[in-house]
């Protein structure tokens, strides 16, 4: 009887953890997961991005530009903007996930991202400005400035 009770308790514990999302970015299965915006397979880790919604649900993207477009005016994710808990982007230099809302962004035609947006992120302004110079690109600024730049580019 005690063993049955213990097994039931352990099973209930593991099931309850499933609904309790951890902190940090969701796992992206490169070569399998699909970009929320363009519906292409996410294959290049360096340019992937995501945001997290309540309950741990994530929206994954193959290109930073896709995420910026998706959360901009007129796109599918616009209605979710107020619910987004955290944005995650890859730091171009280290390859680590960083907070997308506090990152700095660069656009360069010499950087070939999956959907051709040419946008990369850096964890601090100094690194972003150095990347912009090295890649012969343009320093876009923070998240809001990068989103505005992508949105304005789409109007052209």
- Quick: pLDDT tens for 115-135: 999 999 999 999 999 999 999
Alpha-carbon distances, residue 22 vs 25, 26, 43, 144 (angstroms): 9, 9, 24, 26
Q: Tokens 């309950």 map to which residue?
A: 55
Our measurement of the distance from residue 44's CA atom to the centroid of its chain's CA atoms, rounded to an integer in Å, reads: 13
Q: Tokens 């789409």 map to which residue?
A: 154
Q: Which pLDDT band, with edges at 50, 70 and 90, does 82 fall under?
A: confident
Q: What is the DSSP letter of 137?
A: -
21-53 per-position pLDDT tens digit: 457 999 999 999 999 999 999 999 999 999 999
What's the farthest any 2 CA atoms get from each other in the chain? 71
Rounded to two decimals, what is the model's pTM? 0.81
Q: Is the pLDDT of residue 106 over 90?
A: yes
Between CA 119 and CA 101 the distance in angstroms is: 15
Average pLDDT, stretch 93-113?
97
Least-confidence region, from 1-5, 69-73, 119-123? 1-5
Helix, strand, coil distribution of the chain in percent, nearest 5: 40, 20, 40
Q: Which two tokens stand for residue 45?
A: 């880790």
Q: Residue 74 has what pLDDT?
A: 64
Any idea how long the chain is? Answer: 156
Q: Tokens 């619910």 map to which residue?
A: 83
Candidates 144, 106, 112; CA nearest to 125 is 106
Alpha-carbon distances, residue 90 vs 5, 20, 47, 76, 96 (angstroms): 45, 24, 6, 22, 5
């Amino acid at each position: 009887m005690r063993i049955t009770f213990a097994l039931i308790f352990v099973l209930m514990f593991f099931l309850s953890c499933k609904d309790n999302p951890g902190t940090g970015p969701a796992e992206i299965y490169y070569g399998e997961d699909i970009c929320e915006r363009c519906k292409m397979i996410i294959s290049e880790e360096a340019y992937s991005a995501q945001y997290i919604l309540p309950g741990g649900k994530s929206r994954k993207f193959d290109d930073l530009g896709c995420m910026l477009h998706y959360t901009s005016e007129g796109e599918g994710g616009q209605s979710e903007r107020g619910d987004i808990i955290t944005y995650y982007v890859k730091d171009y230099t280290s390859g680590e996930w960083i907070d997308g809302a506090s990152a700095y962004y660069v656009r360069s035609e010499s950087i070939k991202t999956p959907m051709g947006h040419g946008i990369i992120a850096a964890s601090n302004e100094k690194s972003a400005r150095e990347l912009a110079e090295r890649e012969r690109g343009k320093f876009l600024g923070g998240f809001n400035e990068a989103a505005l730049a992508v949105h304005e580019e789409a109007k052209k």
